[in-house]
Amino acid sequence: MSDSIDVTGRLRKMPAEAGDPVAYALAVGDARIALNDLMGRKVRIDFEGVIRCIHCDRTTKKSFNQGFCYPCFRKLAACDSCIMSPEKCHFHLGTCREPEWGEANCMVEHVVYLANSSGLKVGITRGSQVPTRWIDQGAVTAIPMLRVSSRYLSGLVEVACKSHVADRTNWRAMLKGDVPELDLAQERQRILELIEDDLAQLRAEHGEDSIRIVDEASLGLGYPVQVWPAKVKTHNLDKTPEVEGLLEGIKAQYLMLDTGVINIRKFTGYEVRFRVLD
């Protein structure tokens, strides 16, 4: 990589590929900067005061739902409340904001999984998003537990699981590398036994083939981190539009600098200038 990196454009979620460690890029406009190559170097991000919707390109004073303007936030199916709470899906009621989008993204196979990012958690994702979803959460290991016929059904299964296991990541612990060792195959069997009656009820309502228990192997993930922060301090481009520091690690969607961490996904749609200073 050239020592001279100075690009300007709109931030997007960091592309990442599973590997040892995970390989990250910073998406700034049309540029894709290989971040793993920049470990230990001083970088700077300057917010240029403009936020543009990642869907319609409209200028917006505030970003909603990680990159959208308010009109798109209100009308797009991808921004509906059922995306965060899939058990609230209303596609079957005929009230989906965008039925074609729902068919392509929600009425497809989803995976209910267990992950270890800051401890055991349950989660769901489209089958096509494995392992991207696990990387975005900073999981060090993850294992599929069930494959189900729709996002709605995955949400109902997740609700059953939440009586026995968390569904949230402690992001500060995740960024400190404070993650216990877990046998996910053993945890999978334990949770399946606990929700056996719930699964039987859901199969009775939605069909025997709508939920499949899988015996797939777990996946371990390592991240490019040179120094784990002892204390997690966050950078916020809305409050401080200049962020500078040595790049010491990358995990989930966070850049870990010696001056603090910044969640790149939070600032999707922000026009920035990114530079390597040394």
User: Hey, where are the domains in the chain?
Assistant: 6-67+224-276, 71-220
Closest CA to 269 of 39, 73, 37: 73
Residue with tokens 């709508």: 210
Task: State the pLDDT at residue 278.
Answer: 84
pLDDT band at residue 1 using 50, 70 and 90 as cut-offs: very low
Please state the pTM of the whole predicted model. 0.94
Closest CA to 192 of 144, 150, 153: 144
Find the mean pLDDT for residues 14-27: 96
For residue 22, give Cα distances in angstroms to 58, 71, 167, 242.
Answer: 33, 35, 23, 27
Residue with tokens 């195959």: 185
Inter-residue contact 71 to 84 (CB < 8 Å): no
Q: Per residue in 41-65, pLDDT tens?
A: 999 999 999 999 999 999 999 999 9
Find the mean pLDDT for residues 145-167: 97
Give the Cα separation of 175 and 168 in Å (integer): 14
For residue 215, give the amino acid letter: D
Cα four-point dihedral sign 72, 76, 81, 85: negative
Q: Per residue in 178-207, pLDDT tens?
A: 899 999 999 999 999 999 999 999 999 999
Q: Per residue in 83-132, pLDDT tens?
A: 999 999 999 999 999 999 999 999 999 999 999 999 999 999 999 999 99
Please report, rounded to a whole number, the percentage of residues in the chain having pLDDT higher than 70.
99
Give the Cα separation of 31 and 10 in Å (integer): 10
Instruction: Kindly tell me the burial class for residue 113, based on how many C-beta atoms sit within 10 Å of its own C-beta (0-12, 13-18, 19 or more).
Output: buried
pLDDT band at residue 3 using 50, 70 and 90 as cut-offs: low
For residue 261, give Cα distances in angstroms to 47, 135, 147, 234.
Answer: 16, 17, 35, 5
Length of the chain in terms of residues written: 278
